[in-house]
Structure 1
Amino acid sequence: MRVSTVNLFSLSKFIKHHHFIALRSVSALAQLKPLSSDSDSDSGAQNTTKVVETLNRLKKKPIDALSYFYNLIKAGFLHDVCTYAAIVRILCHFRLNKELDLIFLQIIRKQNNVEFEVIDLLEALYNDGSDSFVRVSNAMVKAYVVLGMFDQVVEILFLTERHGFVFPISSYNFFMNQLVHCGKVDTVLAVYQQLGSLGLSSNVYTYVIVLKALFKKGCLQEAFEVYSEMDKAEVTPNEFAYSTFIEGLCMNGELDSGHQLLRAWAATKIPLGAFAYTVVIRGFCNDNRLEEAEGILLFMETQGVAPDVRVYSALISGYCKFGNISKALALHSEMVSKDIKTDCVVVNLILKCFCQLGRVSEAVHRLKELEEIGIVDNISYNVVVDALCKLGRVDEAMVLFSEMKDNQIVLDVVNYTTVIYGYCLQGKLCDALILLKEMKEKGHEPDLVTYKILAVGFARCDFEQEAIDLLNDMKKQGLEPYFARDNMIIEGLCLGGKVKEAEAFFHSLQDKCLENYSAMFNGYCHADCSEKAFQLFMRIFKPGFSASKGSIFKLLNSLCINGDNAKAKMLFDRMQTLNLEPSKIMYSKLIGTFCQAGEMGMARSVFDILISRGNTPNLMTYTMMINGYRKVNCLQKAFELFNDMKRQGITPDVVTYRILFNIHSKINLNSSSSS
């Protein structure tokens, strides 16, 4: 069904126009050079003929043919274009794509003494039929992409006409799609510009890929123009084209426009699949517009589009993100009742939400239930094990860890590191090292996180030398630059309460870098040395300062608790320049601190920033502000805030009404005194 672009372009008026970014050619397109082609000698032609004949006899037994091919290599036989072409034909016929990919990787890497070029093999296979040639060309493109040799693909694709043939448009589509996945969007656009010079006509898949690239680059206006080109070329958009356009708008901050377009297209009976609805639902969920997201679910069902696991996963993720586990569970039950099979992604969202809400025992119970029906993976276990370890319930975590082994769940470095972290938290370093040894025996090498956890654990327990030895071992493996090892020692000593030792080690470092200062700041925050942390932060803050977000929030919270309101406000202002967004809880704490101190100007400033970030203050935050204004006798502002709260649909509770009654009493008392 063709769709007029009039409505689409009227919609584009609502989107901020971006400056047109000219499509730039890549180097391989700017300087097209013919590939060299080696001429093989005639020596060994008889052996080659016999090998080809044998492979042809084995063409109905691809595994035997492949085994014969590789056994010849082991025996010292040098395959040429003819023998490679014979085995490639067999692999293509039986669609053995992995084996085909490996063949092309060998040719490109010049393994097994390959003495010809890819282009020679392509010439030999060109007349075998379009389906086989497409399969071969895709394998060639994939091999080059895997090796990161993008310019070489461009060179081959745009020079093969000199060898008597041109690749089909599907091969260019395959290459451009691979480029999009690798983030090479400029190359995609450059290739697209050159297709016309080869006499190739773009099809719907070409346009979809180009739209993806433009949206990934943030070029909305150019995306509208490409859609117009598709319309002029009378190429009928398919479900993927429509979904790509809606997704592109949503991912570029135009969620409402994407929603508007979804409903407009649905009204004209354009074929939209579940994915188009999913991207809008996910956008609403990310913006905490959960009721609107559920409205899309109901709307898609009225349009005859059945929701799938991705739709429900987006909704469940949204409710879990904002801590509404009961709603998430209700949606999960609804999904199962519709015979939509749940998966590990959905399950892990629910388990993580339980843990974040502190309901770890319920997470353990649900994990056991899900394990019985086989809907868990190593990530599911790790979510719960991590939560137990952080609560100091390492023995319970080890029970689950053992169950993973009993249930034949494949463990990875993350699973081992999580339990090692639990042991280190409890100071059980011997147990941690035993687990480290087991991890290595199972073939899992420790990563940076594992080493850091162990180093911090050693430093906290007075094993400074052991920590240094461990980090030296890490250095031998080439895992991290030297300054990072120093930072681990600094933070580890502070975690162990050895702030003076950490300071001494820090001052002993020559040519300190910004990361070292960041580590000292993090260490001060861990050790609750808020004054030193504040002074260091304010003194050395500048772009590149990589203090952890958690440490900065911890310092902000500490300053609030200690009543250092002016410093808390200075730190909060500095956080704005860092684009560090506090949680709603942190906003609430900061507002509460300022209200308690009677600093209503500061409190209102933070309150307004909270709203400007698209957040709606909750009942507690509104109540604190109203009470704060009552204390400083700004009664009119208190009432204005109360009315604003009601407009937001927030129902006052008994505490709010008690404060308002107090305000009324004060107004009446003042009126009586004045009369």
Structure 2
Amino acid sequence: MTSLRPLPSVIDFNQLFTAISKLKRLQPHSTLISLLRNLELSGIRPNMHSIGILANSYCHLGRVDFGLSLLAKRLKLGYPFDRDCVIFNTLINGFIHCDKLPQALQLLDQMVKLGFQPDIITYGAIFKGLCRIGDNASALHLLRKMQSGTCEPDLVIYSTIIDSLCKDRLLKEALDLFTAMKSEGIIPDVVTYNSLIRGLYNSGSKVEAKNMLAQMLECNIAPDVITFNMLVDMFCKDGNVDEAQAILDYMIERGEIPNVITYSALLDGYCLRGQMEDAEKLLDLMAQNGFEPNIVSFNTIINGYCKARNIDRALNSFQCILQKGVTPNVVTYNTLIDGLCKANRLSLARQMFKDMQGHGITPNVVTYASLLDSLCKNALLDEAVTLLEEMENNGVKPTVVIYGILMDSLCEAGKLEVAAKFFLDLVLKRQEPDVKIYTIMIKGLCKKGLMDEAIQVLRKMEEDSCSPDDRTYNTIIRGYILKNDLSNASYYCDLMVSKGFKGDNDTF
């Protein structure tokens, strides 16, 4: 266009740039900035619309500071604001997009001081920012302030706040706002209902969630793909996979196209139920409908086979991933390593652990926990200790649970001193031992007949505000019984009962 003579007007270029800006999948913002610069170099003076497009592009790239500098440029070019708050809205939106709510609020204050009145777009951006950080109290306060002003809240603003309240499980407040919204004559849409249905279901109010869905349908509000995805997910989590499949069928019948979220939810449902044949068929259906299974889908299948104790099929699925050129991730390897460990195929689990690192995937605390547990169960304690040391050397912090697994096995094997060393490590690293860890140490001492030391650990436990439980007391009582010290056994038995605990079968 810049080679045409005479040159097209700035309006023509703006129409082109506006069209380019809508191609969001191509992330055109850097290109637009370059084009607008070249336009100015070609001698075409930018107008207010051009400056707005440029500001929007800078904001999308996270450079709101460059966008702010355009306010001065606009004035320099002789374009007064004239109560036009479009560029302010663009910049406020930019701050919200970059998670800089304080700066957005500061600009809003400056805008008001300059005599501009925030419009529905300004308020919408601020509500979005407040709800994004979960500041529901401020959002509700601003809503009340808005209701008393000249710019009334619209459906989008109400829906944004309702969604935020639902995500924070503030269902009463969400439902109250929903009622207030309707009393103001604002008709809820499918987005509003989706938030409430999801919020009610996630809070355990399943009946109320279904009632809300029924209310939506009675109001002739058609469910969208998000609604259907929620329903499929809800039915699958409740174990009603057949109903979830019926929802998928109905969805397709209505002309709604399922997306990867729909298929993933149903796939997860089949795998949780161990219906692996149906899960495999669904994978094929996904591919037929243009949704090539991704690593999340394959991880779900592998996990399903591992849960069904069919480790060979899980390994076959892993090979399928590699053949398709899909890159396994840490979840893939963790699932397989855990499955192999549970199937007592430790040598293959070790090989998978090496393979994982060979492919540049760093093991995490879940990886180490699975291997460590299996090594302990196979009484390979020296290797387990070495693995824990390797874990720490690689910068992966062992959890209290991992310490517990190793310490328990060491105590069972009579290696009390090594277990005590790890107990001391735990304390020195300021990882507070829990009741299970203390009880493991007490059990190890009792097993060796070191009852005085066991009681010292019990006292330290109480000093550290970690209350003993029934297992702790039963362990001490059994220790005294093994030493034929029935007097102390009786004392701790009475103490246990006074604290509301009961003796177990092994104790009595």
Preserved contact between residue 455 and residue 488 of structure 1 (Cα < 8 Å):
yes
Question: How far, CA to CA, are the matches of 2:95 and 2:133 in structure 1?
Answer: 19
Question: How far, CA to CA, are the matches of 2:420 and 2:300 in structure 1?
Answer: 40
Preserved contact between residue 274 and residue 308 of structure 1 (Cα < 8 Å):
no
Preserved contact between residue 169 and residue 201 of structure 1 (Cα < 8 Å):
yes
**Equivalent residue, structure 1, for 2:19:** none
**Equivalent residue, structure 2, for 1:140:** 130
Matches within 5 A, 1:465-614: 465-480=452-467, 484-485=468-469, 487-491=471-475, 494=478, 498=482, 504-509=490-495, 512-514=498-500, 516-517=501-502, 520-521=503-504, 524-525=505-506
Question: How far, CA to CA, are the matches of 2:316 and 2:284 in structure 1?
Answer: 15
AA at the equivalent of 1:449? K
Q: CA deviation at 1:283?
A: 1.8
Preserved contact between residue 451 and residue 480 of structure 2 (Cα < 8 Å):
no
AA at the equivalent of 1:346? T
Preserved contact between residue 376 and residue 409 of structure 2 (Cα < 8 Å):
yes
AA at the equivalent of 1:465? D
Question: Deviation per CA, 1:383-425, whole angstroms, max 9, x where unpaired?
Answer: 1112212332111112222222333334443343433333333
Question: How far, CA to CA, are the matches of 2:479 and 2:434 in structure 1?
Answer: 21
Preserved contact between residue 193 and residue 212 of structure 2 (Cα < 8 Å):
no
Preserved contact between residue 461 and residue 496 of structure 1 (Cα < 8 Å):
no
Preserved contact between residue 473 and residue 492 of structure 2 (Cα < 8 Å):
no
Q: CA deviation at 1:363?
A: 1.4
**Equivalent residue, structure 2, for 1:334:** 320
Preserved contact between residue 162 and residue 195 of structure 2 (Cα < 8 Å):
yes
Preserved contact between residue 442 and residue 472 of structure 2 (Cα < 8 Å):
yes
- Say whether residues 1:380 and 2:367 are aligned partners: yes
AA at the equivalent of 1:225? A
**Equivalent residue, structure 2, for 1:370:** 356
**Equivalent residue, structure 1, for 2:176:** 190
**Equivalent residue, structure 2, for 1:426:** 413
Question: How far, CA to CA, are the matches of 1:382 and 1:123 in structure 2?
Answer: 57
Q: CA deviation at 1:268?
A: 5.3
After the TM superposition, which segments of 4 or more aligned residues of structure 1 sit over 6 Å from their partners? 89-92, 101-104, 119-126
- Say whether residues 1:324 and 2:324 are aligned partners: no
Question: How far, CA to CA, are the matches of 1:418 and 1:96 in structure 2?
Answer: 45
CA spacing shift, 1:392–1:443, aligned 2, 3 Å: same
Aligned length: 417
AA at the equivalent of 1:218? K
Question: Deviation per CA, 1:94-129, whole angstroms, max 9, x where unpaired?
Answer: 45866648999xxxxxxxxxxxxxx99998899456
- Say whether residues 1:463 and 2:447 are aligned partners: no
Question: How far, CA to CA, are the matches of 1:276 and 1:144 in structure 2?
Answer: 27
- Say whether residues 1:345 and 2:331 are aligned partners: yes
Preserved contact between residue 471 and residue 485 of structure 1 (Cα < 8 Å):
no
**Equivalent residue, structure 1, for 2:245:** 259
Q: 1:213 aligns with which of 176, 187, 199?
A: 199
Q: CA deviation at 1:152?
A: 7.4
Preserved contact between residue 250 and residue 280 of structure 1 (Cα < 8 Å):
yes
Preserved contact between residue 266 and residue 303 of structure 1 (Cα < 8 Å):
no
Matches within 5 A, 1:86-125: 93-95=94-96, 100=101
Preserved contact between residue 236 and residue 268 of structure 2 (Cα < 8 Å):
no
Matches within 5 A, 1:251-290: 251-266=237-252, 269-290=255-276
CA spacing shift, 1:424–1:500, aligned 2, 3 Å: same
**Equivalent residue, structure 2, for 1:225:** 214
Preserved contact between residue 319 and residue 328 of structure 1 (Cα < 8 Å):
yes
- Say whether residues 1:311 and 2:293 are aligned partners: no
**Equivalent residue, structure 2, for 1:403:** 390
SS in 1 for 2:290: coil
Which residues of structure 1 form unaligned runs of 5+?
1-57, 63-88, 105-118, 533-675
CA spacing shift, 1:213–1:296, aligned 2, 3 Å: same
CA spacing shift, 1:441–1:95, aligned 2, 3 Å: farther
Question: How far, CA to CA, are the matches of 1:278 and 1:399 in structure 2?
Answer: 39
Preserved contact between residue 232 and residue 244 of structure 2 (Cα < 8 Å):
yes
Preserved contact between residue 91 and residue 97 of structure 1 (Cα < 8 Å):
no
Farther-moved stretch of structure 1 (341-350 vs 179-188): 179-188
Identity %: 20
CA spacing shift, 1:163–1:456, aligned 2, 3 Å: farther
What TM-score, normalized by structure 2, do the two folds share?
0.69
Q: 1:161 aligns with which of 134, 147, 153?
A: 147
Q: CA deviation at 1:461?
A: 2.6
- Say whether residues 1:249 and 2:272 are aligned partners: no
Q: 1:436 aligns with which of 423, 438, 442?
A: 423
Q: CA deviation at 1:443?
A: 4.2
Q: CA deviation at 1:276?
A: 0.9
Preserved contact between residue 281 and residue 296 of structure 1 (Cα < 8 Å):
yes
AA at the equivalent of 2:408? Y
**Equivalent residue, structure 1, for 2:76:** none
CA spacing shift, 1:304–1:396, aligned 2, 3 Å: same
AA at the equivalent of 1:454? M
AA at the equivalent of 2:364? D
SS in 2 for 1:296: helix
CA spacing shift, 1:245–1:391, aligned 2, 3 Å: same
**Equivalent residue, structure 2, for 1:448:** 435
Preserved contact between residue 313 and residue 346 of structure 1 (Cα < 8 Å):
yes
CA spacing shift, 1:389–1:152, aligned 2, 3 Å: same
**Equivalent residue, structure 2, for 1:665:** none
Preserved contact between residue 477 and residue 493 of structure 2 (Cα < 8 Å):
no
Which residues of structure 2 form unaligned runs of 5+?
1-62, 68-89
SS in 2 for 1:509: helix
Preserved contact between residue 144 and residue 152 of structure 1 (Cα < 8 Å):
no
Q: CA deviation at 1:351?
A: 1.4
Question: Deviation per CA, 1:233-291, whole angstroms, max 9, x where unpaired?
Answer: 5x6x5432221122223334432121022133235552211221122222222222221
Matches within 5 A, 1:619-638: none
CA spacing shift, 1:141–1:94, aligned 2, 3 Å: closer
CA spacing shift, 1:256–1:123, aligned 2, 3 Å: farther
